[in-house]
Amino acid sequence: MRNSLRFSISGLDPYEREIRQALGDTERSAVISRIWKKDHTLWKEKDEEISNRLGWLSAPDKAPETLPELESFVREIRKEGYSHALLLGMGGSSLAPEVFSRIFGTADGYLKLGILDSTDPEVVLSYAGLFPLEKGLYLVSSKSGTTLETTSFLNFFYARACERLGNKRGGAHFAAITDPGTPLEKAAHDLLFRRVFAGDPEIGGRFSVLSPFGLVPAALIGMNDAELVDHSRQAARLCQNPSVSENPGVYLGVLLGTLALAGRDKVAFLLSPEIESFGAWIEQLLAESTGKEGRGILPIVRDPDIPAGKESQDRIFVHIGITGDKTHREAMRRLAKSQVPLFSLTLNNAYELGGQFFLWEMATAVAGHFLKVNPFDQPDVAASKKKTEAVLKTYKERGSLPEENGEDEEGLKRFLSLARPGDYIALLAFLPPLPGIASALKEFAAALRTRTGLAVTYDFGPRFLHSTGQLHKGGRGNGLFIQLTADHFKDTPVPAAPASLSSLYSFGVLENAQACGDREALREKGRRLIHFHFRKEIEKGIGQLISFI
């Protein structure tokens, strides 16, 4: 094997004693063998969402069994003239497909893949207008089969398909990926979906990339699933090595956990442009797995800066590059010179991400052991969902949402004065994820970094609720949260059920309810939060905030 799991490390000298002790504890506690025996006591005394969430350990070896079915399905779809697929999903169901779509694109003769993971009505309507229904496949993806956003997408697009094609023909344009026995599985059979792919109920969503949740979309775009899986199988074998120093996943996890406990609880990723979208997947894995019980590791995957001096004392850096790429060479040189902890991994090609998926899953599980958290649950994600559901219930009863006027620019100045060393800032944008707005957020984040010296993350809602949202509420409370919302200039109803003519609310109301629910959940946890609402041009509004700071 061209071992892309070997990594170089620098800047660890100040932590030599802690790391040596942690490595010794890992050996003495037989952590490696206990992981592979699915021993829940590595993380918690009670076996709640642990031993029955470790199916990802065997996923690489099981994956080849599913490949013939996927290949047959794709041949069938292509033969019938399908040219596009739209994945309807959130979090673990959408991030790996997004990685594959952006990195590998579409092979000749295969399907172009779109990902819908935004409830913003402008985005939903854009996909509805552009998606070629006659030649399109809707891929409804949800492990639980009850995800609010995914159910809303299904109801909306199924109603449109049946309106244009009729119920029988409409159902043939849908396929589902879900665990056995879920409401989505039942609905797929009732609605005459073309196919239902069964997930493994012992694999959690963010660990599901090497199951049908990742492999079906990969096959549709013409990826070589067998090569991807082969790299993951080789990584899994390396991660069974009983020697910690020879086990790359466990060794990396020991370092991540030890450095987080020592105060370096933020991991900034420097990724080759070719694999830059891998960051969104690893962001969810680390943040949602470790961010709970007042602890956590914050991934920084969008535009990580290279701070100087004391500003870097809460961070480690991870470089994952493709052979020959020199994009981050200068940054690497500066980091090595400043003696900041730096891990560097080099891949020969993008398919070696198959090994990276397993490497980081193992490392995250081991880091969770050191942080004494259960890496496989997400209690605060569920709490935010309940807040949103309560807001929607109020809307159904009263016909309106709770009103809240956003702050002004002066409020931002006061808010930033609350920052402390070791904090981070998160931009929570319940806005249309359009290129211009994304660029404005990037500029806003850069301005905040310059002003405060803190790490800054940003992402669009509601997708971050299924990712960093867990860390925001469950972590150690060192975040400053800037929520951005806006009026909706376009909107469309969410059907109450597939093919239903009635509606209980619109996508605009749903997105607003999710923003409101997130505010309530953060405030209930005592988090520092400020909210800005844009009545007119969003980019102009963000620009005014940038000018002010």
d(Cα 57, Cα 219) in Å, to the nearest integer? 22
Same domain, 352 and 401: no
Does residue 351 contact residue 228 with C-beta atoms inside 8 Å?
yes
Is 223 a residue whose pLDDT tops 90?
yes
Residue 382: the pLDDT is 86
Confidence of residue 127 (pLDDT cuts 50, 70, 90): very high
Does pLDDT of 299 surpass 60? yes
Q: What is the pLDDT of residue 309?
A: 66
Q: What is the percent of the chain where pLDDT is above 90?
A: 90
pLDDT at 214: 98
At 293, the pLDDT band (50, 70, 90 cuts) reads very high
What's at 469, amino acid-wise? Answer: G
pLDDT of residue 404: 78
Tokens of 499: 């093919």
Chain segment 367-394, per-residue pLDDT in tens: 999 999 999 999 999 888 999 999 999 9
pLDDT higher than threshold 90 for residue 406: no
pTM over 0.75? The answer is yes
**pLDDT given for residue 500 in this prediction:** 85
CA–CA dist 313, 352 (Å, integer): 31
SS3 457: strand
Regarding whether 385 and 517 lie in a shared domain, the answer is yes
Domain end among 371, 391, 422: 371
Looking at the predicted structure, is the pLDDT value of residue 514 above 90?
yes
The confidence score (pLDDT) of residue 1 equals 37
Q: How confident is the model at residue 36 (pLDDT cuts 50, 70, 90)?
A: very high
Specify whether 175 is located in the same domain as 64: yes
Q: 390 and 534 share a domain?
A: yes
- Stretch 412-435: mean pLDDT: 96
Whether 84 shows a pLDDT value over 70: the answer reads yes
Residue 109 belongs to a domain: yes
Handedness of CA 30, 34, 40, 43 (dihedral sign): positive
Q: Report if residue 404 sits inside a domain.
A: yes
In a domain, 121, yes or no: yes
Mean of pLDDT values over 464-491: 96
Instruction: Check whether 408 has a pLDDT greater than 90.
Output: no
Q: What is the pLDDT of residue 176?
A: 98
* 512 falls within a domain: yes
pLDDT of 3 higher than 60: no
The label of the residue with tokens 């850096």 reads 317
**Chain mean position to CA 529:** 22
Q: Quick check: is 86 in a domain?
A: yes
CATH number of the domain where residue 349 is located: 3.40.50.10490
Based on the domain organization, do 312 and 390 belong to the same domain? no
Angle, CA of 152, 158 and 164, to the nearest 5°? 140
pLDDT in tens, 37-77: 999 999 999 999 999 999 999 999 999 999 999 999 999 99
pLDDT at 368: 98
pLDDT at 2: 44
Task: State the DSSP string of 40-80.
Answer: GGGT-SS-SSSGGGBGGGTHHHHHHHHHHHHHHHHHHHHHT
Residue 311, pLDDT score: 67
Domain presence at residue 232: no
The domain boundary, picked from 341, 371, 401, lies at 371
Quick one: average pLDDT of 19-47?
97
205, part of any domain: yes
Please tell me whether residues 162 and 191 are part of one structural domain: yes
Mean pLDDT on 498-520: 94
Where is the domain boundary, 336, 371, 406? 371
Distance, CA of 368 to CA of 286 (rounded, Å):
9
Are 490 and 524 members of one domain? yes
Same domain membership, residue 134 and residue 34: no
Both 403 and 544 in one domain: the answer is: yes
How high is the mean pLDDT of the chain?
95
Same domain, 311 and 218: no
Residue 102 located in a structural domain = yes
Q: Which of 442, 286, 436 is nearest to 362 (CA)?
A: 286
Burial class (CB in 10 A: 0-12, 13-18, 19+), 36: middle
Q: Each residue of 234-266: pLDDT tens digit?
A: 999 999 999 999 999 999 999 999 999 999 999
Per-residue pLDDT tens digits for 155-176 = 999 999 999 998 779 999 999 9
For residues 210 and 324, state if they share a domain.
no
For 264-280, the pLDDT digits (tens) are: 999 999 999 999 999 99
Question: What's the total number of domains in the chain?
Answer: 3
Same domain for 384 and 365:
no
Instruction: Compute the average pLDDT of residues 503-525.
Output: 96
CA distance 25 to 22: 5
* Domain carrying residue 154: 57-223
